[in-house]
Amino acid sequence: MEMHISPATKHRAELAKIMAAADSFQPERGIIAGGALTSAFTGREINDIDIYFGCVGDFQLAVQDAYDEGWWCVSATDRAVTFIRGPRVIQLMCFGFFASPAEVFDAFDFTACM
């Protein structure tokens, strides 16, 4: 799996922070959103990476990928499956599925998390 990023992006430093926090975990068709983005752009420590999906099949593939890549499942709820690897934490969100990043952002008030 490879993340598709424009070589002209102005946000390479922020992307590097997010990828480091995700320990390079890159599920296909996953959408990173939430506090990790805010933290990356405000210079704060990233606590975890929330990854949203467009459909249940994409979510299931990501769960399998996490196991295959050596992540350890520490929690599973009706909202998310949480994995750790060393100090890194990823949450694969399953309470809803979103066709685009805009749909994820439209569904939440991320300032309430800060």
Give the model confidence (pLDDT) of 29-54 as tens digits.
Answer: 899 998 999 999 999 999 999 999 99
Q: Which domain holds residue 32?
A: 12-108
Contacts for 101-104 with beta carbons within 8 Å, 24 or more apart?
101/31, 101/33, 104/31, 104/33, 104/52
Q: Does a structural domain hold residue 5?
A: no
Give the model confidence (pLDDT) of 92-109 as tens digits.
Answer: 999 999 999 899 988 876
pLDDT at 10: 85
Residue 24 and residue 44: Cα distance in Å, rounded? 19
Q: What is the pTM of this model?
A: 0.85
> Could you tell me the maximum CA-CA distance found in the chain, to the nearest angstrom?
39
Q: Does a structural domain hold residue 83?
A: yes
Q: Does a structural domain hold residue 113?
A: no
CB 21 within 8 A of CB 36: yes
Q: How many domains does the chain have?
A: 1
CATH number where 58 lies: 3.30.460.40
Give the model confidence (pLDDT) of 66-83 as tens digits.
Answer: 999 999 999 999 999 999
Q: Does a structural domain hold residue 16?
A: yes
Q: Does a structural domain hold residue 6?
A: no
CB 47 within 8 A of CB 56: no
